Structure 1
């Protein structure tokens, strides 16, 4: 591991999302979310925060031949990418929209999903209220979100580990504890929550972890924010680089019913 070099440049957002989706971790949890949606022929499905359209094709296949899928994203670049990928699929529509103010009628969808979206939004409570509004009675929402306060990276100096996790939870991710909060927030929005599924990815390969977590970039930001001294940051990265490496974080799949 001594020759390993961390990825220092921020990856293109589309490239990053594609890379995660095609990893073993991505394929596994996305399939579990798809299973929990319990899609049927004829369903109308919303992919809220659809990104570059990674999951739209699988959703469309699950509700074919009479169903419809609408992907919505607030980022026009992502909307353009998703539209390009779904060209020719009559059952798929992609729209530029804000999850806090969905341009959809009340009770107009059977299913909805959010995948690592609510950790970033300004107001998860408002977003959940909007999703509840547009779902039909008996409709189902499946959400997948990490709880970044559970991030554990092994290091001989426990203080450095705690500093790294605190930085991620306090400075990097807007709603870092959303994973554990989702059942409560969904219930407050009028959903029932029959199922919560914890998924704990374990990384023992520093390369795989770096491709998801951006270890060096995040450490640099932690140093700039005074969570690490320069010396501590270098000691932290040196150990991660040389190994043995271990990291884990808990990801929650939460099923909510309207």
Structure 2
């Protein structure tokens, strides 16, 4: 695994990606399934730029509490600014495998696009269970990049690019095993769903337009890929759009778990 480096520039790029209508719609589905209630204490593991933390805070209200946790200082700076008007949000430094909270301190927890980066999943899920009260619930969303469909002309180059991109993940296929991991950690899993990100057209406000730039930057120097290769891959995707036959689709898998 070669971790993504979230300096200020990269964090701002992620912030723009999370503001696209695709990810806004994803957050709405996450919130509907988690169903945070007024007065609840909710933990957002991997809170990133703070969009979800704000939505959670609006749902629980000032009688509740939202704690956002992230390992990235750059992300936390953005999140603290975004959340500053809601005193019941706390943005903390920390990681999913070592949650800095007492036992049974939350009614609910949510984690989107985080556990695929966590090396020790049994420990991370044990920590998740520890901080939830009896009967508490957790919602986890992660991606399997095998589900990606992208119309390209140069299939061989595309496969090399995606293989190199997967190097930034510890568990590039986590969703296929996540329900079992949750059950072995002492959760029940009453709900499993798929959230589809679908872009039949390319424009700046789509998820794929933003993620392709991040992918192209990351893959240079991996799997023998050069900057010229990365640019050729981008040009191929943009040519599909120019010719009117662009298509991108990606599945994100959602698991609702409860503490037994």
Cα deviation digits, residues 47-79 of structure 1 (max 9, x gap): 111123222221111112421111111222322
Aligned to 2:89: 92
- Between 1:151-160 and 1:185-194, the stretch displaced more is 151-160
1:124 and 2:125 correspond = no
Cα deviation digits, residues 29-48 of structure 1 (max 9, x gap): 10110111121122100011
Q: Is the 8 A contact 1:152 1:165 kept in 2?
A: no
**Aligned 1:68-83 pairs, distance under 5 A:** 68-83=65-80
Task: Return 5+ residue gaps in structure 2 as ranges.
Answer: 1-6
Cα deviation digits, residues 152-195 of structure 1 (max 9, x gap): 222344434433332323x2323211222221221121111111
1:143 and 2:140 correspond = yes
Q: Is the 8 A contact 1:106 1:134 kept in 2?
A: yes
Q: 1:194 aligns with which of 182, 190, 202?
A: 190
CA distance in 1, matches of 2:154, 2:76: 44
The offset of 1:227, in angstroms, is: 5.5
User: CA separation of 1:167/1:78 partners in 2, compared to 1, >3 Å: closer, same or farther?
Assistant: closer
Aligned to 2:3: none
1:113 and 2:114 correspond = no
> TM-score scaled by structure 1?
0.84
1:15 and 2:12 correspond = yes
User: CA separation of 1:206/1:100 partners in 2, compared to 1, >3 Å: closer, same or farther?
Assistant: same
Q: Helix, strand or coil for the counterpart of 2:152?
A: coil
* Root-mean-square deviation (Å): 2.5
The offset of 1:132, in angstroms, is: 0.7
The offset of 1:232, in angstroms, is: 6.7
User: CA separation of 1:90/1:30 partners in 2, compared to 1, >3 Å: closer, same or farther?
Assistant: same
CA distance in 1, matches of 2:135, 2:215: 45
Q: Is the 8 A contact 1:198 1:253 kept in 2?
A: yes
Aligned to 2:179: 183
CA distance in 2, matches of 1:210, 1:254: 27
- Between 1:102-111 and 1:225-234, the stretch displaced more is 225-234
User: CA separation of 1:17/1:236 partners in 2, compared to 1, >3 Å: closer, same or farther?
Assistant: closer
User: CA separation of 1:75/1:11 partners in 2, compared to 1, >3 Å: closer, same or farther?
Assistant: closer
CA distance in 1, matches of 2:75, 2:8: 15
Task: Return 5+ residue gaps in structure 1 as ranges.
Answer: 1-9
Cα deviation digits, residues 133-153 of structure 1 (max 9, x gap): 110111111111111122222
CA distance in 2, matches of 1:229, 1:72: 35
Q: Helix, strand or coil for the counterpart of 2:165?
A: helix
